[in-house]
């Protein structure tokens, strides 16, 4: 079982994700350069936080065209687990691997702070080791995390249980005061309809050690390891020659 | 007319900021008249900002040597040994004038500049802190009658600076882990933006800016050169401000943090090849300073061919190229024959590395342009033989602080309302509004971030160690008594580091002053340097570098003399880090005092009181004299705190500084999970002096009652006074003074006043 952390030139949480998987979780992990045309045999891919190509245009807008993203798209379509954290989430949206878009935070300010998110489904490779309804404390760190989509898409997300995390109060109440960026329906993270692609704005890698104040984020990485252990067949099914056509429909 | 045809005259030299004597010196060094390019080069290198010509004679008095110091002042950053084969490179620098002219870009490029200084040394930046000073942002009495228009303008500058710092650091990927901010009318036309960066490197992988090896190629990397920032160092940083200063906006550089991130990664990888001989960032005076300083340090010459310099604009003259302060550029010397290795590292990150010149043995900085010599100047004379001035100094005619003193409230007065107003005063209020705009967690080393403890604490992955870092300085105190105020800055920074559990290890300083041509300003400067030197000697903290910022004047009004001290601390075991939050109901609250007898002062207590943040915030008074600093007492307290932290005795620690004991206690509560405090003090001084007095050498710790005996023992061992003053509770926050409750309110009410002040002011 091997994790791959994609490195765009402006990724800056790549080392942190790598550290958590390698040192805290104790699993094999490798960096994947953005110009790479393969995924170095990774069984799970992480798109880390940062500012992929500066993001002066629009977060993730350029990153989706990088060579590695074609491979990530193929990998995702073949059922491989892909986790996009913060900028990674933004890139997944731009790449069409997840539906919707990011707006500037309500209030138009960058925000770095711990928030509470509630686990809305455990039926994903990223939350299978979590407890349904449990409230996690994980920090956010972004200027564009205000998730938006049209009513039809939102209905589909709800219907298919694709909303994986929602911002709530510490007690787990869904409340506007608990929403740090104005995201639609308090959405903090969503998965693809096939459930193998997760995008989340909070940074689980910053909440994976007691010394840093919370270990709640480790749940995400533990789930991935557990899921990979339970689905060896899915790994084999990850065909190298999956079609590189249009993005996955939701 | 081509600029090469411009005739250089003494008048033109004067317009470039060179005095008649300085111009005569130029003529002597060259043995001829300079051309316009050479004049421009001399004017930037001999500007106050680059040459330290007014400060140099004084800075020599600072202690810079200690066994842990690997690199003292004179390089891009200071470097100290931190064990395990690692070292820390750190430095603080000002970007005051640009931040007034264009707050967002001024502050952003200030952060960018100091980051480059650190990674130029081969160290990866792991933290940034900022010390900020603005004019009043509220109409409270401390604003001294500032107009609504002026406070609105100050808020705009404040907002722009915070956004700019966040913009740069967040994208670059360095956590902004701390800092401090204060407000006073003198900063209205001249805010202070001082940025400190800290980096880590393996000791054997440090890089220096010393060119060597005649024939070695000089390579240019990073952004293309444009016309931005020309004369930033000489005209913006080395002259007073006037009403026209806003028009100097074109002199402010524009930052690109993404490019800087690429530059960081590419430089660190290129350094790994072993093909780099020397490297320096192009900061103030860009191509000029980087080339002549590397040549001068290495005792060689450098020849630059400007036609090969990547240019963003067409038709640039040698004058413009040599003086451009375009950001995110580096100059390096590589080993001849290994250029490809360097180029490959930069190409990987999408950057060009272009050979633009070579090292020579003639000691000259020679600039070629369109196949002729555009400038030719002895590098050493240019970099190191700038004039040095013993500027006249004079103490003020009227002793400082002689204005009307503040009066104490009537005995027995309830101070709850005044205390609540103090908590809402922007300098005291919660800084969460600022902190949240900065990424303070990236790189996952932040064990204690902004507001969690007295100093930021960062673990060093792969070791058991941690570093603590703080920036401190009280301009009002330095205005009232420069020597004592500067001592207090060092003492407070050391105390903060010790309160986080670390040993003060080294310091960097940013000295912000007015126009050095004013004898009173030079007197302030000299007094402050002496104060810093005295305190650093007493506390065994070497100064490893820093920055002097003069000419912080607008319309003839100087800012408070504001030395900012950045102190780095070292902790052997990261798990010993202390934070300020109270932990549990029933824990004892203890006052530790380096002065065992409580430091009874013989002076009129109103004098010390009148220098406090409390009086300034509530009555707009800045008078009297700051509390005198007893460095032996500070030393004892620092040692006691380190010993206690090592044993894990205190469950929280927080020093007493701005706002006095009352604010310290409140902050320990506010940082906790809903805990409050019940405290009782007895004293002969007035209640306000006891609650809000700011004498140093004191800290509040909390501990389990079962640990009190051990605490007492350690305190005795280190000669520190120890007094149990109360306990941690829930609900009401109460301070009793001589048996009477002088502050009593639900802790939540106080918390709201403190927490909501800045967001309300800043319209969040």
Structure tokens that stand for B101 in this block? 């002219």
Q: Of the residues B16, B49, B231, B654, which is catalytic?
A: B49
Which residues of chain B are within 8 Å of residue A107 when distances are taken between CB atoms? 764
Closest residue on chain A to B260 (Cα):
A10
| CB-based contact B439 A141, cutoff 8 Å | yes
Asked whether the predicted pLDDT for residue A187 surpasses 70, the reply is: yes
Confidence of residue B4 (pLDDT cuts 50, 70, 90): low
Residue B6's pLDDT band (boundaries 50, 70, 90)?
Answer: confident
HEC string for B474-524: CHHHHHHCHHHHHHHHHHHHHHHHHHCCCEEEEEEEEEECCCCCCHHHHHH
Residue in B258, B349, B443 closest to A51 by CB:
B258
Task: Summarize the confidence of residues B294-303 as an average pLDDT.
Answer: 96
pLDDT tens digit string along B630-656? 999 999 999 999 999 999 999 999 999
Q: Which of B127, B258, B444 to mutate to test the interface with A (most CBs of A within 10 A)?
A: B444
Q: What is the per-residue pLDDT for B146?
A: 75
**A131 vs chain B: nearest CA distance in angstroms?**
25
d(CA A231, CA A201): 26
Interface pTM (ipTM) of the complex? 0.94
Find, among B233, B289, B260, the residue nearest to B116 by Cα: B260
**Closest Cβ–Cβ partner in A9, A113, A212 for B350:** A9
B125-134, B187-196, B543-552, B600-609, range with the lowest pLDDT: B600-609
Mean pLDDT throughout A38-46? 96
Lowest mean pLDDT among A1-15, B403-417, B591-605: B591-605
Alpha helices in B226-279 (DSSP H): 257-272
pTM for the model stands at 0.95
Cα angle B577-B581-B584, degrees, rounded to a multiple of 5: 110
Q: Is there a contact between A56 and B258 if contact means CB atoms under 8 Å apart?
A: yes
Question: Per the CB < 8 Å rule, is B444 touching A109?
Answer: no
Alpha carbon distance B613, A37 (integer Å):
61
Report chain B residues whose CB lies below 8 A from the CB of A205: 444
**For this structure, is A191 an active site residue?**
no
CA distance B298 to chain A (A): 34
Work out the average pLDDT over B744-751: 98
Residue B325 above 70 pLDDT?
A: yes
Minimum CA–CA partner of A55 in chain B: B258
Sheet holding B78-83, edge to edge: B69-71, B78-83, B86-94, B192-202, B124-134, B176-183
Nearest Cα residue to B618 out of B663, B580, B588: B663
Question: How many alpha carbons lie under 13 Å from residue B431 in its C-beta half-sphere?
Answer: 21
A107 and B574 in contact by Cβ < 8 A? no
Closest CA to B495 of B531, B455, B456, B466: B455
Q: What is the pLDDT of residue A243?
A: 42
Longest dimension (CA), chain B: 86
Tell me what pLDDT residue B328 has.
92
Q: Which residues pair with A198 in a beta bridge?
A: A83, A191
Q: Which residues in chain A have Cβ-Cβ distances shorter than 8 Å to B172?
A: 12
Catalytic residue among A13, A71, A73, A86: A86
Chain A nearest-CA residue for B763: A107
Strand, coil or helix: what is B78?
strand
Best interface-test mutation with B: which of A23, A110, A221 has the largest number of B CBs within 10 A? A110
Helical pair B519-539 and B631-647, crossing angle rounded to 10 deg: 40
- What pLDDT was estimated at residue B634? 98
Strands (E), B262-371: 276-281, 301-305, 329-334, 353-360, 364-369
Mean pLDDT of B119-125: 97
Residue B455 in tokens = 């100093």
Ordered strands of the B276-281 beta sheet: B276-281, B329-334, B217-222, B353-360, B301-305, B364-369, B372-378
Residue B147: predicted pLDDT: 85
- The answer to whether residues B124 and B289 touch, using CB atoms and an 8 Å cutoff, is no
Phi–psi pair at A247, nearest 5 degrees: -65, 160
In the predicted structure, residue B245 carries a pLDDT above the cut 70: no
Q: Are B496 and B655 a contacting pair, CB within 8 Å? A: yes
Contacts of B258 in chain A (CB under 8 A): 9-10, 51, 53-56
Interface contact flag, A51 B261, Cβ < 8 Å: yes
Catalytic choice (B95, B97, B440, B483): B95
Q: What is the pLDDT of residue B3?
A: 56
Pairwise CB contact (< 8 Å): B436 & A203: no
| Catalytic status, residue A144 | no
Please give the DSSP secondary-structure letter assigned to residue B450. T
Q: Which of the four pLDDT bands, split at 50, 70 and 90, describes residue A208?
A: very high
Is there a contact between B497 and B504 (Cβ–Cβ < 8 Å)? yes
State what percent of residues in chain B have pLDDT above 90.
89
Cβ–Cβ contacts within 10 Å for residue B166, how many?
A: 26
* Chain A residues within 8 Å of chain B (Cβ atoms): 9-10, 12-13, 15-16, 19-20, 49-51, 53-56, 107, 109-113, 139, 141, 143, 203, 205-206, 209, 211-212
- Determine which helix (DSSP H) or strand (DSSP E) holds B394, and give its type and residue range: none
Q: Which residues of B touch A (CB under 8 A)?
A: 163, 166-167, 170-173, 256-259, 261-262, 265, 349-350, 435-444, 446-447, 459, 461, 574-575, 764
Q: What is the pLDDT of residues B57-80, one digit of tens each?
A: 999 999 999 999 999 998 999 999
Per-residue pLDDT, averaged over A104-129, amounts to 97
* Owner of token pair 């902790």: B571
Q: What is the pLDDT of residue B126?
A: 98
Sign, CA torsion B100/B253/A9/A107? positive
Task: State the best of A5, A7, A12 to mutate against chain B, taking most chain B CBs within 10 Å.
Answer: A12
- The yes-or-no answer on residue B49 being catalytic is yes
Which residues in A lie closer than 8 A to residue B268 (C-beta atoms)? none
List phi, psi (to 5°) of B667: -65, -35
The owner of tokens 């330290």 is B52
Chain A residues touching residue B437 (CB < 8 angstroms): 109-112
Confidence of residue A246 (pLDDT cuts 50, 70, 90): very low
Residues B658-673, buried b or exposed e (16+ Cβ, 10 A)? bbbbbbbbbbbbbbbe
A-chain residues near B162 (CB < 8 A): none
Nearest chain B residue (CA) to A107 = B764
pLDDT digits (tens, 9 = 90+) for B649-695: 999 999 999 999 999 999 999 999 999 999 999 999 999 999 999 99
> Taking 60 as the threshold, does the pLDDT of residue A238 lie above it?
no
Rounded to whole angstroms, the Cα distance separating B634 from B642 reads 12
Considering only CB atoms, A109 lies closest to which of B437, B444, B461, namely: B437
pLDDT at A245: 40
pLDDT at B265 over 70: yes
More confidently predicted of B128 and B4: B128
Q: Give me the catalytic one of A94, A149, A191, A203.
A: A203
Give residue A60's pLDDT.
87
Give the pLDDT score at A247.
Answer: 38
Question: How close B350 comes to chain A (CA, Å)?
Answer: 9
Mean pLDDT for all residues in chain B: 94
| Minimum-distance CB partner of B436 among A16, A56, A113 | A113
Q: Are B79 and B89 in contact (CB under 8 A)?
A: yes
DSSP B209: -
At residue B242, the pLDDT reads: 66
The burial of B362, by beta-carbon neighbours within 10 Å (0-12 exposed, 13-18 middle, 19 or more buried), is given as middle
How big is chain A, counted in residues?
A: 250
- Secondary structure, 3-state, B412-449: CCCCHHHHHHHHHCCCCCCCHHHHCCCCCCCCCCEEEC
d(CA B510, CA B196): 9
The encoded tokens of residue A225 equal 């390891």
SS3 B651: coil
Sheet with A44-47: list strands edge to edge.
Answer: A29-33, A3-7, A44-47, A82-85, A197-200, A187-191, A163-168, A111-119, A135-142
Weakest mean pLDDT among A237-241, B14-18, B106-110, B316-320: A237-241
Which three-class secondary structure state does DSSP give residue B453? coil
Secondary structure class of B749 (helix, strand, coil): helix
* Nearest chain A residue to B440, by CA: A112
pLDDT band at B227 (very low <50, low <70, confident <90, very high): confident
d(Cα B287, Cα B293) in Å, to the nearest integer? 10
Determine the distance in angstroms separating the CA of A159 from the nearest CA of chain B, rounded to an integer: 34
Query: Which segment of A218-232, B226-240, B334-348, B645-659 scores lowest on mean pLDDT?
Result: B226-240
Residue A24 has pLDDT above 70, yes or no: yes
Identify the pLDDT of residue A239: 46
3-state secondary structure of B107: helix
Q: What is the 3-state secondary structure (H, E, C) of chain A?
A: CCEEEEECCCECCHHHHHHHHHHHCCCCEEEEECCCCCCCCCCEEEECCECCCCCCCCCCCCHHHCHHHHHHHHHHHCCCCEEEECHHHHHHHHCCCCCCEEECCCCCCCEEEEEEEEECCCCCCCCCCCCCCCEEEEEEEECCCEEECCHHHHHHHHHCCCEEEEEECCCCCCCHHHCCCCCHHHEEEEECCCCCEEEECCCHHHCCEHHHCECCCHHHHHHHHHHHHHCHHHHHHCCCCCCCCCCCCC
Number of Cβ pairs < 8 A linking chain A and chain B = 83
Contact list, B764 vs chain A (CB under 8 Å)? 107, 109
């Amino acid at each position: 079982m091997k994790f791959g952390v994609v490195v765009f030139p402006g990724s800056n949480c790549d080392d942190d994700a790598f550290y958590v998987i390698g040192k805290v979780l104790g699993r094999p992990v490798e960096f994947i350069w953005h110009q790479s045309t393969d995924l170095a045999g990774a069984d799970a891919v992480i798109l880390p936080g940062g500012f992929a190509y500066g993001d002066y245009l629009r977060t993730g807008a350029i990153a989706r065209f990088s060579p590695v993203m074609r491979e990530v798209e193929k990998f995702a379509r073949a059922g491989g687990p892909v986790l996009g954290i913060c900028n990674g989430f933004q890139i997944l949206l731009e790449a069409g691997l997840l539906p919707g878009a990011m707006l500037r935070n309500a209030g138009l300010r960058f925000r770095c702070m711990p928030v509470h998110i509630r686990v809305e489904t455990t039926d994903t490779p990223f939350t299978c080791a979590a407890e349904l309804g449990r409230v996690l404390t994980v920090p956010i760190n972004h200027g564009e995390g205000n998730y938006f989509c049209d009513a039809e898409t939102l209905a589909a997300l709800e219907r298919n249980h694709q909303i994986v995390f929602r911002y709530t109060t510490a007690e787990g109440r869904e409340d506007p005061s608990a929403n740090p960026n104005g995201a639609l329906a308090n959405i903090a993270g969503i998965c693809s309809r096939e459930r193998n692609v997760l995008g989340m704005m909070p940074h689980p890698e910053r909440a994976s050690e007691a010394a840093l104040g919370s270990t709640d984020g480790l749940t995400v990485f533990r789930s991935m390891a557990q899921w990979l252990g339970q689905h060896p067949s899915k790994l084999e099914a990850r065909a190298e020659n999956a079609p590189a056509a249009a993005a996955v429909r939701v | 007319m081509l600029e090469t045809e411009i005739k250089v005259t003494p008048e033109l030299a004067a317009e470039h900021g060179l005095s008649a004597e300085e111009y005569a010196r130029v003529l002597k060094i060259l043995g001829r008249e300079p051309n316009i390019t050479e004049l421009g080069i001399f004017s930037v290198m001999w500007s106050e900002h680059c040459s330290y010509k007014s400060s140099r004679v004084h800075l020599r008095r600072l202690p810079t040597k200690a066994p842990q110091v690997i690199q003292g002042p004179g390089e891009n950053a200071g470097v100290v040994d931190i064990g395990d084969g690692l070292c820390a490179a750190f430095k603080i620098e000002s970007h005051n004038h640009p931040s007034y002219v264009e707050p967002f870009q001024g502050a952003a490029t200030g952060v960018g500049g100091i980051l480059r200084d650190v990674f130029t040394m081969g160290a990866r930046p792991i933290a940034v802190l900022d010390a900020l000073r603005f004019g009043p942002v509220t109409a409270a009495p401390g604003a001294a009658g500032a107009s609504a228009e002026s406070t609105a303008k100050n808020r705009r500058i404040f907002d722009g600076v915070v956004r700019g710092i966040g913009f740069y650091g967040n994208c670059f990927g360095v956590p902004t882990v701390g800092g401090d901010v204060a407000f006073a009318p003198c900063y209205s036309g001249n805010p202070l933006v001082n940025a400190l960066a800290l980096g880590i490197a393996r000791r054997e992988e440090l890089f220096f800016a010393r060119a060597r090896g005649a024939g070695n190629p000089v390579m240019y990397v990073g952004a293309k050169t444009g016309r931005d920032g020309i004369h930033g160092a000489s005209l913006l940083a080395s002259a007073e401000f006037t009403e026209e200063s806003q028009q100097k906006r074109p002199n402010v550089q524009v930052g690109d943090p993404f490019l800087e991130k690429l530059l960081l990664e590419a430089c660190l990888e290129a350094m790994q090849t072993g093909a780099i001989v020397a490297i320096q960032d192009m900061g103030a005076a860009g191509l000029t300073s980087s080339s002549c300083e590397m040549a001068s340090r290495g005792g060689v010459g450098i020849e630059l061919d400007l036609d090969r310099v990547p240019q963003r604009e067409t038709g640039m003259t040698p004058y413009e190229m040599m003086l451009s302060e375009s950001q995110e550029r580096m100059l390096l010397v590589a080993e001849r024959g290994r250029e490809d290795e360097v180029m490959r590292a930069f190409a990987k990150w999408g950057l060009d590395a272009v050979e633009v010149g070579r090292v020579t043995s003639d000691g000259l900085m020679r600039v070629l342009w369109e196949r002729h010599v555009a400038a030719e100047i002895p590098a050493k004379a240019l970099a190191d033989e700038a004039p040095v001035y013993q500027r006249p100094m004079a103490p003020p005619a009227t002793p400082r602080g002689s204005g009307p003193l503040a009066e104490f409230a009537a005995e027995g007065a309830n101070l709850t309302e005044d205390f609540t107003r103090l908590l809402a005063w922007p300098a005291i209020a919660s800084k969460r509004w600022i902190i949240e705009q900065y990424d303070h967690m990236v790189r996952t080393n932040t064990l204690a971030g902004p507001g969690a403890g007295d100093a930021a604490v960062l673990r060093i992955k792969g070791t058991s160690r941690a570093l603590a870092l703080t920036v401190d300085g009280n301009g009002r105190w330095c205005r009232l008594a420069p020597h004592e105020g500067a001592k207090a800055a060092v003492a407070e920074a050391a105390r903060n580091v010790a309160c986080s559990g670390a040993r003060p290890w080294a310091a960097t300083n940013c000295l912000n002053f007015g126009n050095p041509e004013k004898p009173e300003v030079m007197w302030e400067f000299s007094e402050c340097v002496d104060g810093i030197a005295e305190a650093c000697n007493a506390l065994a903290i070497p100064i490893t570098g820093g920055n002097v910022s003069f000419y912080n004047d607008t319309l003839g009004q100087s800012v408070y003399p504001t030395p900012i001290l950045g102190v780095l601390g070292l902790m052997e075991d990261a798990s010993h880090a202390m934070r300020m939050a109270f932990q549990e109901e029933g824990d004892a609250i203890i006052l530790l005092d380096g002065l065992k007898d409580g430091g009874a002062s013989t002076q009129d207590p109103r004098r010390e009181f009148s220098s406090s943040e409390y009086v300034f915030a509530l009555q707009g008074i800045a008078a009297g004299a700051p509390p005198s600093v007893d460095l032996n007492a500070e030393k004892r307290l620092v040692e006691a705190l380190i010993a206690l932290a090592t044993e894990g005795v205190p469950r929280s620690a927080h020093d007493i500084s701005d706002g006095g004991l009352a604010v310290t206690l409140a902050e320990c509560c506010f940082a906790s999970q809903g805990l409050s405090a019940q405290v009782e003090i007895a004293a002969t001084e007035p209640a306000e002096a006891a609650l809000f007095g700011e004498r140093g050498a004191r800290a509040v710790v909390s501990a389990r009652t079962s640990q009190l005996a051990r605490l007492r023992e350690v305190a005795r061992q280190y000669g520190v006074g120890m007094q149990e003053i109360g306990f941690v509770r829930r609900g009401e926050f109460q301070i009793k003074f001589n048996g009477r409750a002088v502050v009593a309110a639900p802790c939540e009410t106080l918390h709201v006043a403190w927490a909501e002040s800045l967001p309300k002011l800043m319209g969040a």
